[in-house]
Amino acid sequence: MLLTVSEFQEAIRVDRPALIAALRSATGRGGEEEREAWESSLPALASALAAPELGALHLYFAGHGYLALEYQLPAASSWCDVVLLGRGAAGPSAVIVELKHWITRGDRPGPAEGLMERGGQLVLHPADQVRGYTEYCGRFHSTVQDQRADVRGCVLFTRDYFIDRYAEPPNDALVRDYPCFTLEPHVVREAWPAYLVRSLDTADEQFARAFVAGRYRQDRGFVRQIGAQIRDRANSPFELLDHQRRAFALVRARLEEKVLGGGTPRKQVIVIQGPPGSG
């Protein structure tokens, strides 16, 4: 759902239930827990974007900038809470914001980077969650690749202020790259705008619309690299077994006969049905 900042803020102020109903329809997620999260975190985001301290970003946050709510990554089942879209000094830019309406007191670092102990369970660190979204866009998003856009990510905790332990080892390096913010007044006044201004300073409607319409684009170099490793039998880390070997031979025969054999190569799609590992 692509909106200008002013449209988003107006929807929050005037008809929040309609906005949430639209999000439920767009995402297919209609659970009560999801609705409560939107009810709580989206107004907090609107307030953070309207803070007068964001004067350095007035061209963007005056309302002409764009944001995407509940943006589904191309060809993936993951959704980004918010993507702020515009331009920075180096060109088109996107900032992915993961919203967490969590009570954080009592949480503590997990045993390895990317984990937190929360409520007696090990959960994914929100900064690692947004790192995944950011790296996915950098590697596989067609618009990001075509326009060489800068993609960054951060976390905005919209309920609690106690997040110091989220930046402790082993997650300290992670949070330096994908910082965590709260709605604590001095954070909204200083750290939050200072972070955003590095990526966004004006609107770019063309890029925003191209971003939300972007497609998944496989890294061709990665495919070639894996193919070369499989074919190099002496040094390959892969060893195909049983039906894997038969499938590989069948696909290679099909490629050599129908795609590469004589004349101009023709595009084809080969679907492999079988147990895990067959593909």
Tokens of 19: 């906005």
Q: Are residues 125 and 242 in the same domain?
A: no
CA distance 198 to 133: 19
Q: Are residues 235 and 116 in the same domain?
A: no
Judge whether 203 and 211 are in contact, CB under 8 Å.
no
pLDDT one-digit tens code per residue, 87-123: 988 899 999 999 999 999 999 999 999 999 999 989 9
The boundaries of the domain holding residue 53 are 2-212
Domains: count for the chain: 2
Q: Are residues 38 and 160 in the same domain?
A: yes
Judge whether 46 and 107 are in contact, CB under 8 Å.
no
pLDDT band at 268, cuts 50/70/90?
confident
- Whether 130 shows a pLDDT value over 90: the answer reads yes
Q: Are residues 179 and 61 in the same domain?
A: yes
Domain boundary among 212, 240, 261: 212
- Give the pTM: 0.79
Q: Are residues 27 and 130 in the same domain?
A: yes
Q: Are residues 138 and 247 in the same domain?
A: no
Q: Are residues 155 and 51 in the same domain?
A: yes
Distances (CA, A) of 238 to 110, 134, 160, 235: 33, 29, 47, 9
Q: Which has more pLDDT, 211 or 58?
A: 211
What does 231-260 look like in DSSP terms, one character per residue?
H-TTT-S----THHHHHHHHHHHHIIIIIS
Q: Are residues 127 and 245 in the same domain?
A: no
β-sheet bridge partners, residue 108: 117
